[in-house]
A and B are shown apart, each in its own frame.
Chain A
């Protein structure tokens, strides 16, 4: 049963209004009065995000106890496409929303606090400090709108707004050509995906409208999910694939992943917040939210799984050969997002959201740790330039190690639990997917520890003139909190059980139970498959642990003990190494296959415009010009000449009148 009620009658859930509005108010305040606030610009933003976090925690603790009915909270009527029907701005507040809001606001608050010190040294002359904080706050508001949206049109607004914030923050150092190019690239690549997303929403409107009752909005999530079963199979497949193309763009999956590595041109905290922990997971969130649509089509769900698996492996292999820490982390993000889509494709949406949640902690931590290294070394982040930072920056090292262990799937860290679930789900669906997932996990552990050993171990070596130092408490406290989260966040997703792994833990915990209403009870066709009881998963768990530990050990030997082995490995297959180092030449391929032909076509059309169309116009314009050239001889300029012509004309008229009478 679905009902729509105004948001102010929603009891305690009416606080959800505060989640987008408080950061939005902060963004407007800092945007308008940043020139007064200047160095204090972070305060309104921190307070705004704090208010949003408090509101989302209130929602998180109350949403479970609220009724399981399908409720849409109307904020206001927005556009009337025809009489009696409105596109509303409405919220959908369910456990999935609550989890996403808490993750987004929590990570945002930590990143904003971290930025307070970081941006003082890495600012920009063009009102950088104020601009940065205004945009971060605007981003949090947009992301909250995206997550809360109970209506596809409003979802689209949030979707585009986070894209805009991403564009503006990638191009934060806009006078640096690389940053401007990266921002443009991100925007254009996302546009390709978003075009499909927009088409998907249009198709929904066209095909769902005949089924909804009068007065009901055909783009409300509840109406769509209730009626999507009426659609023809090909319609559902079309819609699902179009929506998924939006997710592919936003979450940087193959083949639209190219913008994310370049997005690292933005300030590092932005990479941590937007391009690792939150915005890029919007695609995962959207697919999870639209589960009822995707479940209508076997093809679409298979495409999701295949794209996810391919991207996970593909990006992980690239990350092995990169030397820029932020780039490694960017490819790692792409790979982990692929993992999440793989889980979605395996009908394990709760597992995907679980991985999204643990990933937010450790990936934000790793990026902020990389930012701390960058901060200490004066902007240098290339692994070939430094090593042995362990003793110089012990705090950063320990926290970074926590994040690395979680990313590598080291036992009892948060990433271990979520990744283990995904690998098990992949094996459940098809062994080949499971093997891809396992191989990706191995590569992940390897490149993570390659990075850690290269940066923090080995001989102490720092770039000329750099004075490595730990940052102040504003930067270290968020690192510490995130490190604690990277270790402990996974424990909400497991249950203590004597039959479990090591006699301690069983997969599937409070987190999964909390999300269950979203994926199972509201929609009978939902993606959730209960964790099989007999699948205690011990064998597989041991295997993933073995793979992860073996990869870490391999990285240790190759990069901490015998560097010559690593060089020998690279030298043994120089073509492969070059291929990975150059990222499979995807950028060059795009340049050659898409950009260059487009430019060619453009120059052809420019030629047509320049010669053919302009020629026709010139010819048209030539007619009066020639006429004028002939007639202008009659203009002598002398007054009496005109007089004589006039008199002659009068005489002519008189003669004509007399003759024709």
Chain B
């Protein structure tokens, strides 16, 4: 299990785990963590395909995404802290104001 299929398989597993975590957990921080895991799964795909084609694009792209994800993580954690201050809970169910 080396080479492309390994990357793709691990990427798919990471994405799947992230998706399950996103859908099943209530804690906002864990939900956010799960989205990051999904990110990494997708990223692993990009890197793997880059290697497979012998081009650096995938890895360069990966670096960019990592940076953006880090920035975004800082922002999102700030938002989560604010949400926590409002309601005193991290439960995602507490925020259902968009219900039609």
Contacts and interface: CB of A to CB of B under 8 A. Distances in A.
Nearest to A628: B100
Contact of A633 (B19, B92, B97, B100): B100
A639 B99 CA distance: 10
A539 interface: no
A11 interface: no
Nearest to A632: B100
Interface residues of B, number: 12
A633 B31 CA distance: 24
A647 B19 contact: yes
Nearest to B99: A637
B75 interface: no
Interface of A: 628, 631-640, 643-644, 647
A277 to B, nearest CB: 74
Contacts of A631: 100
Interface string B13-25: 0000001001100
Interface of B: 19, 22-23, 31, 92-93, 95-100
A639 B79 CA distance: 15
Contact of B96 (A632, A638, A644): A638
A637 B92 contact: no
A72 to B, nearest CB: 74
B29 to A, nearest CB: 13
A634 B98 CA distance: 11
Contact of A637 (B19, B22, B23, B97): B97
A276 B32 CA distance: 90
Contacts of B95: 637-639
A74 B31 CA distance: 86
A635 B99 contact: yes
B79 to A, nearest CB: 12
Contact of A636 (B19, B22, B31, B99): B99
Given A632-B100, A633-B100, A634-B100, A639 B92 contact: yes
Nearest to B96: A637
A643 B97 CA distance: 16
Given A638-B92, A640-B23, 10 more contacts: A631-B100, A632-B100, A634-B100, A635-B100, A636-B96, A637-B97, A638-B93, A643-B23, A647-B19, A647-B23
Contacts of A639: 31, 92, 95
A643 B18 CA distance: 12
Nearest to B97: A637
Contacts of B93: 638
Contacts of B22: 640, 643
A631 B23 CA distance: 22
B99 A640 contact: no
